[in-house]
Structure 1
């Protein structure tokens, strides 16, 4: 279900790879900080 972005000509698959990368990074950072700073 991939569509082509008419403006950039890139393939759009629902969410941008950069957005997914940031979500994974934020989750990883939250887990690592939470485990190292056990309150």
Structure 2
């Protein structure tokens, strides 16, 4: 079983993954909202 030092800590890895996923989801959501705003202001 590896400890936190080997970079595969069972608590740190999911946290890192969730951080990346949240960032990506936020960017997608922002883009979608921006597109929607464009369509609303230019019908």
What range is the shorter-chain TM-score in? 0.5 to 0.7
Q: Structure 1 residue runs of 4+, over 6 Å off?
A: none
CA RMSD of aligned residues (A): 2.9
The two structures have a TM-score, normalised by structure 1, of: 0.61
| Pairs aligned (count) | 35
Higher RCO, 1 or 2 (CA under 8 Å, sep at least 6)? 1
Task: Give unmatched runs, 5+ long, in structure 1.
Answer: none
Task: Give unmatched runs, 5+ long, in structure 2.
Answer: 1-6
Structure with a larger share of its residues in helix: 2
Larger Rg: 2
